């Protein structure tokens, strides 16, 4: 009997070792049978266990030291919505001329079938490799036989030539995790600065010294063996109007501070800003481009250079660059083609354009400096010490009278001094010279303005005719210009406007400053509005004078808010409406005047109206005085919009009595 038992165990042992990931517990009946998890009873899939390990080893194939990243993960697929978590796309990057490789991909699906656990393995021929671009390859696979309740185990190793870089480990993802741990073996020749980002805390950190773990440059070095672990990690859920999720995800980051390189000398990687300043400004594709001022002395009209007013001189140069180099939709802080080539082909990346702008401004005798930026989707840059790879974008900082004006010429529809949303992300680093640089908040210095003016007259047939002017500036104008230019001609745009708002006829429309981004964009149009009510002696009639772009939906409709609200720019919206009524019209009732403020005037809403001499005058004013609101302020904002919606539901009631 005892013999039989051990034999069974042995057979079982053999079987399970085949369909098993090393040092993961055996999948048990209850693991699959279990339906809900206390951590998140509503998840579609849940990570039961995740283990990562990074170490350096000499690789015979590559004849070099390589970093090995091993990743093991066990996921429970709870329902059909969770099936997508059985699909894997793993990017492999190119460093220098070498691509990272992926090895030992193992995937096992465990299912409960007729009371027994059945394991199916991923077959090698079902793993695909795709050349995504010149720099990225993708390894793609999906696990077989996925069902509701399946438990999947996946293991793979990525071998990377980028030996200075210990990858960021994300504890948090879009599904909850019961446990995630990351083990690193850092040789004593490296010194890393390790930081934990995000709102969650580590459950545990274990570290020990491993003696002589690696032979490097013919000597044995010790390693620090550190394990970071986190338990009960909730899923990360994105919200509208927020910065990149990367800024909020709980993760551990490694930055190399110094390393002992061949020959035994120490090389510092975490530099002082002064080192970075010098390096960038001597770099050919950065500082080297800024130096090329002479090109512009030939290309830009002398009359521009001779302009006296510094502000308008800068403005003209800015427009010139906008017109002469088109952005190729590539980010970068280093010039891609060089500014000469970019000017010739009228095409370049962000650095080609904005470094050219700096050079041109300098050529005109203005003080302009590069500002390093990390874009919104790239996350916030490290603000403790310089991490050059955090920055993926560059803009110009123009200094006039001790003010720094932030400029980005990548988009021809951006007015002078306005930044595109992608470049507004925390702080940027302005580099004055080889010895000095400082942090500077990236903000939209231009307030987004929408202004509606209407002067009209009501006729007895119930139509209101008059002149409507819609002025916009800043972000609002930028969005509108983009919208208008979608159409083949202005006529077609106004035609569309006419079709979109059938109760309003746009008779004669003029668009002013469509391409002149420095000025207010104005749409001036003669309109006829149908109220669909005839004025009948002795009867009431109703008018809602905010007849265009009326707020009817609340942009802030969440029940809870976890992260800051980022609007990208401050905003002001105003309406000034005057409607002349026919003789014999008297006001019966009107919406109440409103004056609403959030603490510190961070948002304001004012609505006033008046009826004198048969003229109805309505003024509405809304200001959002901040571009970023905290989660505490969210409900204030929500309430302001809610009050506006309610206010605008109320019509004016008039009575008509002919004499």
Partner 1 sequence: MNRFNLVITTIIATALLCSNISMGQQYAVELIPKGLKSRASAIVRDEQITLDMKNEANISHIVTKAITILNPAGDQYAAMVLSYNKSVSIKDIKGQILDEFGMPIGKFTSKDFKDYSASDQVSMYDDVRIKHYDPNINTYPYTIVYTYESKHSQNLFIPYWQPNKYSDVAVEKSSYTFSCQPTLNIRIKEQNIPNKVELETTEKYKSYTWTATNINAQKAEPYAPIEKKDAIVVKIAPESFKYFKKQGTASDWNSLGKWFYDDLLKDKQDLPLATIAKMKDLTANAKTTKEKAEIIYKYMQNKTRYISIQVGIGGLEPFPASYVDRLGYGDCKALVNYTQALLSAVDINSVYCIVEAGNNKVSLDESFANAVDGNHIILCIPMEKDSIWLECTSNKHPFGYLGDFTDDRLVLACTAEGGKIWRTATYPSHKNIQIRKAYFDINKEGSLKGKMHTTFSGTQFDNHYSNVFRSPIEQVKALKSYYDVDNITFNTVNYQITDTDSPKLTEDLAIAIKNYVVKNENQLILQPNIFNITRNIPESKNRSNAVYINRGYTDIDEIEYTLESELAGKITPIEKVINCPMGKYELRIFSEGTKVTIKRYISINQGEYSADSYQQFYDFMKEVSASDRIKYTLNLAHN
Binding site for partner 1 (CB under 8 A): 42-44, 79-81, 83, 87, 126, 128, 130-133, 140, 142, 144-147, 237, 322-329, 345-347, 412, 485-489, 492, 496, 498-503, 532, 542, 552-554, 557, 559, 589, 591-592, 641-642, 645-647, 649-651, 653
Contact 251, 171 (CB under 8 A): yes
Rounded least distance, CB 277 to partner 1, Å: 32
Phi and psi for 307 in degrees, rounded to 5? -60, 135
Nearer CB in complex with partner 1: 115/441 = 115
Name all contacts of 494-498 with Cβ < 8 Å and 24+ positions apart: 494/525
Length of the chain equals 659
Nearer CB in complex with partner 1: 376/481 = 481
Rounded least distance, CB 507 to partner 1, Å: 14
Rounded least distance, CB 629 to partner 1, Å: 18
What per-residue string of b and e applies to 378-417 under the rule 16 or more CB within 10 Å gives b? Answer: bbbbbeeebbbebbbbbbbbbbeeeebbbbbbbbbbbbbb
Nearer CB in complex with partner 1: 137/427 = 137
Whose structure tokens read 């992926």? 102
Contact 178, 149 (CB under 8 A): no
What distance, in Å, lies between the first and last C-alpha atoms of the chain? 114
Nearer CB in complex with partner 1: 225/609 = 609
> What is the 3 state secondary structure string of 48-115?
EEEEEEEEEEEECCCCEEEEEEEEEEEEEECCHHHHHHHEEEEEEEEECCEECEEEEEEEEEEEEECC
Nearer CB in complex with partner 1: 525/627 = 525
Nearer CB in complex with partner 1: 327/656 = 327
Nearer CB in complex with partner 1: 22/238 = 238
Q: Sheet of 504-512: strands edge to edge?
A: 504-512, 521-530, 463-473, 448-458, 571-580, 615-624, 603-612, 594-597
Rounded least distance, CB 44 to partner 1, Å: 7
Rounded least distance, CB 225 to partner 1, Å: 38
Closest listed residue to residue 147, CA positions, set 88, 89, 82, 87: 82
Nearer CB in complex with partner 1: 193/533 = 533
What per-residue string of b and e applies to 614-623 under the rule 16 or more CB within 10 Å gives b? Answer: eebebebebb
Rounded least distance, CB 386 to partner 1, Å: 32
- The set of residues, in sequence order, having a beta carbon less than 8 Å from that of 217 and lying 6+ positions away, is 262, 263, 264
Nearer CB in complex with partner 1: 251/325 = 325
CA distance 329 to 324: 15
Rounded least distance, CB 300 to partner 1, Å: 16
Rounded least distance, CB 488 to partner 1, Å: 4
Nearer CB in complex with partner 1: 140/179 = 140
Nearer CB in complex with partner 1: 519/557 = 557
Rounded least distance, CB 288 to partner 1, Å: 24
Rounded least distance, CB 282 to partner 1, Å: 30
Determine which helix (DSSP H) or strand (DSSP E) holds 267, and give its type and residue range: strand 266-268
Nearer CB in complex with partner 1: 129/433 = 129
- DSSP symbols for 387-419: -GGG--EEEEEEEETTEEEEE--S-TTSPTT--
Sign of the alpha-carbon torsion through 31, 37, 38, 40: positive
Helices 490-500 and 475-485, axial angle in degrees (round to 10): 100
Rounded least distance, CB 327 to partner 1, Å: 7
Rounded least distance, CB 204 to partner 1, Å: 30
Phi and psi for 6 in degrees, rounded to 5? -65, -35
């Amino acid at each position: 009997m005892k013999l039989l038992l051990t034999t069974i165990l042995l057979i079982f042992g053999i079987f399970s070792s085949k369909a098993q990931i090393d040092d993961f517990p055996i999948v048990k009946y209850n693991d699959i049978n279990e339906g809900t998890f206390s951590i998140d009873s509503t998840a579609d899939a849940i990570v039961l266990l995740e283990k990562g390990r990074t170490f350096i080893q000499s690789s015979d194939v590559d004849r070099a030291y390589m970093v090995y990243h091993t990743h093991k993960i066990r996921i429970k697929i709870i329902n059909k919505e969770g099936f997508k978590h059985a699909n894997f796309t793993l990017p492999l990057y190119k460093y220098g001329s070498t691509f990272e490789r992926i090895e030992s991909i193992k995937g096992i699906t465990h299912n409960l079938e007729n009371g027994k656990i059945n394991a199916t393995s991923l077959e090698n021929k079902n793993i695909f490799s795709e050349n995504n671009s010149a720099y990225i390859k993708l390894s793609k696979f999906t696990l077989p036989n996925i069902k509701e309740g399946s438990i999947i185990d996946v293991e793979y190793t990525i071998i990377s030539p980028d030996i200075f870089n210990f990858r960021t480990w994300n504890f948090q993802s879009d599904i909850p995790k019961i446990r995630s741990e990351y083990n690193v073996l850092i040789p004593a020749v490296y010194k890393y600065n390790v930081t934990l980002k995000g709102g969650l805390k580590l459950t545990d950190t274990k570290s020990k010294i491993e003696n002589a773990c690696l032979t490097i440059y013919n000597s044995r070095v010790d390693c620090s063996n550190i394990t970071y672990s986190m338990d009960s990690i909730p899923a990360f859920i994105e919200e509208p109007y927020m910065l990149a999720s990367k800024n909020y995800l709980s993760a551990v980051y490694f930055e190399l501070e110094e390393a002992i390189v061949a020959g035994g000398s120490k090389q510092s990687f975490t530099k002082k800003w002064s080192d970075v300043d010098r390096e960038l400004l001597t770099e050919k594709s950065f500082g080297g481009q800024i130096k090329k001022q002479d090109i512009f002395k030939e290309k830009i009209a002398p009359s521009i250079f001779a302009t006296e007013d510094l502000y308008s001189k800068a403005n003209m140069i800015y427009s010139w660059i906008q017109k002469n180099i088109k952005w190729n939709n590539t980010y970068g802080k280093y010039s891609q083609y060089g500014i000469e080539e970019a000017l010739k082909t009228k095409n370049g990346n962000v650095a080609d354009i904005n470094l050219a702008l700096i050079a041109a401004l300098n050529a005109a005798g203005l003080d302009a400096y590069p500002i390093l930026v990390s874009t919104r989707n790239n996350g916030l840059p490290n603000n403790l010490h310089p991490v050059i790879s955090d920055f993926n974008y560059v803009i110009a900082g123009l200094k006039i009278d001790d003010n720094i004006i932030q400029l980005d010429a990548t988009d021809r529809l951006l007015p002078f001094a306005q930044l595109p949303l992608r470049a507004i992300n925390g702080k940027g680093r302005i580099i004055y010279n080889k010895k000095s640089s400082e942090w500077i908040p990236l903000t939209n210095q231009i307030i987004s303005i929408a202004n509606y003016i209407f002067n009209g007259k009501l006729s007895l047939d119930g139509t209101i005719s008059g002149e409507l002017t819609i002025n916009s500036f800043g972000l609002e104008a930028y969005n509108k210009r983009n919208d208008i230019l979608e159409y083949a001609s202005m006529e077609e745009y106004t035609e569309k406007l006419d079709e979109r708002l059938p109760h309003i006829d746009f008779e004669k429309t003029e668009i002013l400053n469509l391409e002149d981004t420095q000025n207010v964009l104005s749409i001036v149009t003669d309109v006829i509005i149908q109220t669909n009510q005839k004025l009948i002696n002795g009867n009431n009639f109703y008018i809602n004078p905010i007849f265009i772009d009326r707020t009817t939906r609340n942009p802030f409709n969440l029940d809870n808010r976890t992260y800051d609200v980022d609007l990208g720019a401050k905003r002001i919206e105003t309406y000034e409406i005057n409607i002349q009524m026919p003789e014999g019209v008297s006001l019966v009732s009107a919406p109440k005047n409103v004056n609403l403020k959030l603490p510190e005037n961070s948002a304001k809403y004012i609505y006033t109206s008046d009826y004198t001499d048969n003229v109805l005058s309505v003024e509405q004013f809304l200001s959002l005085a901040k571009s970023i609101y905290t989660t505490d302020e969210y409900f204030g904002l929500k309430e302001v919009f809610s009050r506006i919606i309610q206010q605008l539901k109320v019509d004016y009631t008039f009575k008509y009595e002919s004499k």
